[in-house]
Amino acid sequence: MRRTKTLSALVLLVSLFLIFFYATLHLETAYSLRAGPEDLLRDTSLQVHDSDGKAQSSKQERFTIPLPDVLNVSVSDGLKQAIPQNGAYWNRLLYSALRNLDKGGNPFGNESDWSLCRQKNQEHLQTNVHDFTSYPVLLQDFLKGMNCRSPPVLLNQPNKCISGEGKGDNRPFLLFAIKSTPGNFEQRQAVRETWGREGVYQSGLRVHTLFLLGSSPLDDPDLSSLLSFEARHFGDLLQWDFHESLLNLTLKMNMLLQWTVKYCPTASFVFSGDDDVFVNTPALLRYLQSLEPSKASQLYAGQVISRASPLRVPKNKYYIPLSFYDGPYPAYAGGGGFVLSGALLQRLYSISRVIPFYPIDDVYAGMCFKALGVSPEANAGFQTFDINEQYRENLCVNKNLILIHRRSPQQMKKLWKGIHSLLLTC
Ligand SMILES: *[C@@H]1O[C@H](CO)[C@@H](O)[C@H](O)[C@H]1NC(C)=O
Ligand SMILES: *[C@@H]1O[C@H](CO)[C@@H](O)[C@H](O)[C@H]1NC(C)=O
């Protein structure tokens, strides 16, 4: 009797040991799978935290993404025909940049030091824009930072498009680059659980997702620890150290171009859009797959806004004074969501070094595409101003669209489930 007891105790001990050993092994593999995003966080300044969990970024040297070699670019005659040469400040800046380019001078301007570029510009503005002080404060702020194009990187994902957890080729067919803001945790999670889910879709098409963030104003709660956790956990956040604001979205778009040229040049298509839109990912993939090769390599598609002009009502958030810009806007795709060919990224980024920043990001994108000689492709499936109220809940209508603005996280979940329901007969 005693012998059996000892024996069973021994068996129990051995099994406990085996279970423990196995569990440790498992933990280790899980850890090494997660090592990707962690490694890259080590590069960034957010990695070091003091005991309060506040980032000690000032003590560390921050890195900025080095500029990739820029290709020779030329600006289409179409842009010169679309944008008049006159006395408005932006128009003058454009034509002076074009003259520089023609002279073979440094077309890309000086890569101003991020910490100094605002001060330098201040004096220049006072002398060159006669009514500068009458501009809305935010627009004045935009103008001061117009030449500042190298904000420090806070969160990066350099391996996003390269290594695929040992599965080899990880080139995305489609990269979702979603404009978000630090506090929009719920929106991001809804996107991850619905249309932005990463993985392999129909016909083996690989989809990757990134959220693009600026930084919160100093008076806001410090979200940096939460964000660095989120970045480690999901591996899908890019963050730069510039303040989130409507007029900084052009800078955000430029950072996306810079990032993709360096870290994801092989993506077939890039989607740029907001975190409060709903995308019917299978429909978008079907559309992209259906394109002729000549179109697929020159794509700039979305809801096209043609014949738009600057709004001259000072209270409007898109107000543009006549002394700043004088002329119509080239046709552009609404910034709520549009797609472009990966093949255009390098040229687009290069041309953006020539075209001065414009305070409205989607108008600016339109100008850059115009400079490349690429016209926007209208697609009725992109509804950046939403659809008629009576159809918003209609799953059959939604199923045939590609993008709808705007939907709450809860609506996204409901819609995603609805259009995927097997019971849906349209
Ligand atoms: C670059 O900066 C230098 C010195 O600050 C200046 O002389 C030069 O004109 C600038 N070049 C361009 C293209 O802005
Ligand atoms: C853009 O970001 C910079 C850097 O954080 C900030 O100084 C500036 O105020 C922001 N611009 C606008 C228009 O908010």
Q: List pLDDT tens digits, range 152-172.
A: 999 999 999 985 555 557 789
Q: Is 216 in the pocket of ligand 2 (CB under 6 A)?
A: no
What's the farthest any 2 CA atoms get from each other in the chain? Answer: 104
Which atom of ligand 1 lies nearest, measured to the CA of 100? Answer: 13
CA of 117 to the centre of ligand 1 (A): 12
The ligand placed nearest to the CA atom of residue 247 is 2
- Mean pLDDT value across the chain: 86
Does residue 50 surpass a pLDDT of 70? no
Q: N- to C-terminal Cα distance for the chain?
A: 73
DSSP letter string, 50-90: -TTS-B-GGGSPP--PPPPPPPP----HHHHHHS--SSSHH
**Whether residue 373 has pLDDT greater than 50:** yes
pLDDT tens column, 216-258? 989 999 999 999 999 999 999 999 999 999 999 999 999 999 9
The region, left, alpha or beta by phi > 0 then psi within -120 to 50, assigned to residue 235 is left
**Smallest-distance ligand from the CA of 99:** 1
Mutation test of ligand 2: which of 219, 245, 357 has the most ligand atoms closer than 8 Å to its C-beta?
245
Protein residue with least CA distance to atom 10, ligand 2? 243
Q: Is the CB of 141 under 6 A from ligand 2?
A: yes
CB-based burial label for 312 (10 Å; 0-12, 13-18, 19+): exposed
Q: Whose CA is nearest to atom 14 of ligand 2?
A: 245
Domains, the chain, ordered by start: 153-158+169-376 (3.90.550.10)
Residues with CB under 6 A from ligand 1: 100, 106, 109-110
Helical packing angle, 345-352 and 249-263, nearest 10° = 140
pLDDT tens-digit series, residues 249-265: 999 999 999 999 999 99
> What is the residue type of 96?
S
Asked if the model's pLDDT at residue 352 lies above 70, the reply is yes
Confidence of residue 336 (pLDDT cuts 50, 70, 90): very high
Q: Which two tokens stand for residue 312?
A: 């001259």
The pLDDT assigned to 184 comes to: 98
Give the atom of ligand 1 at the shortest distance from the alpha carbon of 109.
Answer: 13
Measured in Å, residue 110 CA sits from the centre of ligand 1 at 6
Q: Assess whether pLDDT exceeds 50 at residue 53.
A: no
Mean pLDDT throughout 5-21? 52
For residue 75, is pLDDT > 90?
A: yes
Single pTM value for the model: 0.84
* Mean pLDDT value of segment 186-208: 97
| Percent of the chain at pLDDT exceeding 90 | 73
The per-residue pLDDT for range 82-119, each reduced to its tens digit, is 999 999 999 999 999 999 888 876 655 566 688 888 88
Identify the pLDDT of residue 108. Answer: 59
- Distance between Cα 50 and ligand 2 center (Å): 26
